[in-house]
A and B are shown apart, each in its own frame.
Chain A
Amino acid sequence: MLNETFHAPGDLSQACSLISDLGEKAIIIAGGTDLMVRFNRHRVNRNVALVYVGKLGLNFIKEEQDHIVIGACANLADITASALVQKKIPLLARACSQMASPAIRNAATLGGNLGTNARNADGVAALMALGAVVVTASTGGEIRMPIEAFVTTPKKEKLANGGIVKQFEVPCLTADERWAWEKLRQRQGDSRSILSVSLRTKMAGNICKSMRLVLGSMAAHPFVSKTAAELLEGKYISSELIDQAAKEILSETDPGTDSRASAWYRAKAAQVLIRRVLSQLV
């Protein structure tokens, strides 16, 4: 018995009601670069209803007031190439340019990167460092939530009625803000993160006014380091303080071991990368 169905709704409200009607069977598919790996692995007929979100017009990248608004279905190649992103939130362009390989970047979306719920989701780490807000849509309406809250909220709550990630709202960097993105990987071509360190900060000379430092692949989700903010904000950034921060931030992490690296190595290397990104500021 063939149970698989495929749906390609043409607008968002139609998609929301479709997902709500389909219930548990519904699986959202965007670029498919994550989902298809799983489907290919076990080629069996599933009792699933695929809802393709690529035709919802959610691939925009636009400027609204002092934000860049990126549709959930914008692909990584378009984001990397976008003049707007390069100019206003270059951190995201850099991060996306280092994800996967060209062919995958032509398909993979930011919404999908969030949807993977992965500890090494680079797009999520970059958006988090920038302070992005996630907007979801469902038959119950739209919900807005900071991305760091989104990743830790149980699925049932954040995607009530089986909602769709609609867009990301990213505050543009101001003239007095600085950023950094460092991804440690096994090889230079097509490689997922061993870990990443990124930051968005405001500096007045060597004094740190604000600090948003994000670690990727160092816990179940990318996270914003509280220690970094507590320790560095309002302080003169000295090399002693940088060393202290690198050590203390580790207490917030829960690095795992996998084929790419051990927890031991991740802890060592994270300190090195934290020191490097902070040293660039002074």
Chain B
Amino acid sequence: MVLLEISVNGKGCRVLVDATTSLLTVLREQLHITGPKIGCETGDCGACSVLIDGKLRRACLTNAMSVNGSEITTVEGIGGSGGLHALQKSFYEHHASQCGYCTPGMIVASKALLDNNPTPTELEIKEALSGNLCRCASYVNIIKAVKSAALKTSNGGGEP
């Protein structure tokens, strides 16, 4: 086992991990942060999406030790104690989920998009979310929610 030191949602964590363990396993099973979901562990669904040093990644395909020293943001770190993030509010207002299994990943992927591109076009939203499967196919409302959140934040909504 090897020592992994990461910051998750602003909190420093030190854990012993196996060298081949994924970040997803560490987050869920060792740190009990269950916002990132296990959908496939093959990189195909996006339910495990997290931000690593601000970049959108698959937690399941990220070797935990390869991100030693990094800052990880899960859905729990978006909004958080400061209340809901504009995106989360917008998902809520636009009924952008049904069973909700894809929602944490959708929020994280949308956050990564808006951080880089505050006023995306519909096609840009679709491309940014193209790796996040929604079996309930709530896609239409998800796209609407991201569009509306983008409008609000880019108009100086000042959300966290």
Measured CB to CB, the residues of A under 8 A from B are 2, 4-6, 8, 29, 31-33, 35-37, 39-41, 43, 45-46, 48-50, 52, 54, 100-104, 106-107, 188-190
Measured CB to CB, the residues of B under 8 A from A are 1-2, 18-20, 22, 25, 41-44, 46, 49, 55-58, 60-63, 65-66, 68, 109, 112, 126-128, 130-132
Cα–Cα distance between A241 and B83 once the two chains are bound (Å) = 66
Cα–Cα distance between A8 and B131 once the two chains are bound (Å) = 29
Between-chain CB contacts (< 8 Å), 12 pairs: A33-B43, A33-B58, A36-B61, A45-B18, A52-B65, A102-B112, A102-B127, A103-B57, A106-B56, A106-B57, A107-B61, A190-B44
Kindly provide the distance from the CB of B3 to the nearest chain A CB, expressed in whole angstroms. 10
Which of B43, B44, B46, B132 has most A Cβ within 10 Å? B43
Query: A-side binding surface: helix, strand, loop or mixed?
Result: loop
Assuming A4-B20, A36-B22, what are 17 further A-B pairs, CB within 8 angstroms?
A4-B1, A5-B19, A29-B63, A29-B66, A33-B58, A33-B61, A35-B63, A37-B41, A39-B22, A50-B19, A50-B20, A101-B131, A102-B128, A102-B130, A102-B131, A103-B49, A190-B130
Q: What residues of chain A lie closer than 8 Å to B128, measured between beta carbons? A: 102
Are A100 and B63 neighbours in the complex by a CB distance under 8 Å?
no
Cα–Cα distance between A35 and B46 once the two chains are bound (Å) = 17
Q: What residues of chain B lie closer than 8 Å to A190, measured between beta carbons? A: 44, 130-131
Kindly provide the distance from the CB of B124 to the nearest chain A CB, expressed in whole angstroms. 11
Q: What residues of chain B lie closer than 8 Å to A49, measured between beta carbons? A: 19
Are B22 and A103 neighbours in the complex by a CB distance under 8 Å?
no
Cα–Cα distance between A101 and B157 once the two chains are bound (Å) = 29
Are B130 and A8 neighbours in the complex by a CB distance under 8 Å?
no
Are A104 and B131 neighbours in the complex by a CB distance under 8 Å?
yes
* Closest chain B residue to A36, Cβ basis: B61
Q: What residues of chain A lie closer than 8 Å to B131, measured between beta carbons? A: 100-104, 189-190
**Other-chain contact of A101, B22, B42, B55, B130 (Cβ < 8 Å):** B130
Are A102 and B58 neighbours in the complex by a CB distance under 8 Å?
no
**Other-chain contact of A103, B20, B42, B58, B66 (Cβ < 8 Å):** B58
Q: What residues of chain A lie closer than 8 Å to B57, measured between beta carbons? A: 103, 106-107
Top 6 nearest A-B pairs by Cβ distance? A101-B131, A189-B130, A4-B19, A6-B19, A40-B41, A39-B20
